[in-house]
A = this chain, B = another copy of it.
């Protein structure tokens, strides 16, 4: 592994874990001392993490850990939903290949099996993985590099990812109901795409992202769910 990649991963971990606090300025030399790499890969990592949205550039030079409000998270989820809605509509309008349809149907079936049973802690990671895969396949079905790239950027923020708040559900009583609703939306959007119903596919993906809105609100209410949200350390209460 390259030193740059190592630095990116280490810094990201430090930021998301809250060890580096929002607003805190990052000195290149301090990182050099901490991680044992030279300034060059550190600079590369800082550039990348700023692009990713975890850091913000200070006008006079250097970077600080970015902080987010509850509204920012809401908007990030809404943005992802909007772009995934665009992807779903394009997929419906353009008509994906039989191979792509078979693939996403297979993914849907595996999710069905998982959701049928009560989901335990150990099967949750399997759910997260399949859920991510579903969203990736859907984006792929739009058949557009440009759209895919834009969505990649939108989900780079840890709490904007399709699976960001899934783990929160594990500790909530409404867990099972939410999963069933989400899975129904998965099924419906695939159906809409197959039938070339663009508007329906778009509306469904938008609404689907709002499951995350709801989970966010619940996570903020339940103190014991806080730790389960990735990047919760970056959230500053208004």
Which residues does A use to contact B, with CB under 8 Å? 43-44, 47-48, 51, 53, 71-72, 75-76, 78-79, 82-83, 85-86, 90, 144-147, 149-150, 153-154, 157
B76 and A86 contacting across the interface, CB-CB below 8 Å: no
Chain B residues contacting A53 (CB-CB under 8 Å) are 149
- Count chain B CB atoms within 10 A of each CB in A71, A76, A82 and give the residue with the most: A82
Cβ contacts under 8 Å, A147 to chain B? 75, 78-79
Q: How far is the CB of A184 from chain B (nearest CB, A)?
A: 24
A-B contact pairs, 18 of them (CB 8 A): A44-B47, A47-B48, A51-B51, A53-B149, A71-B144, A72-B144, A75-B147, A76-B146, A78-B86, A78-B147, A79-B83, A79-B146, A79-B147, A82-B82, A146-B157, A150-B150, A150-B153, A150-B154
Q: Which residues of B contact A44 (CB under 8 A)?
A: 43, 47
Cβ-closest chain B residue relative to A81: B86
Q: Which residues of B contact A153 (CB under 8 A)?
A: 150, 153
A85 surroundings in chain B (CB, below 8 A): 82
Known: A51-B51, A146-B157. 5 other contacts (CB 8 A): A44-B47, A72-B145, A79-B150, A150-B150, A150-B154
Chain B's nearest CB lies how many Å from the CB of A1? 14
Cα-based distance from A44 to B50 in the complex (angstroms):
13
Residues in chain B near residue A43, CB distance under 8 A: 44
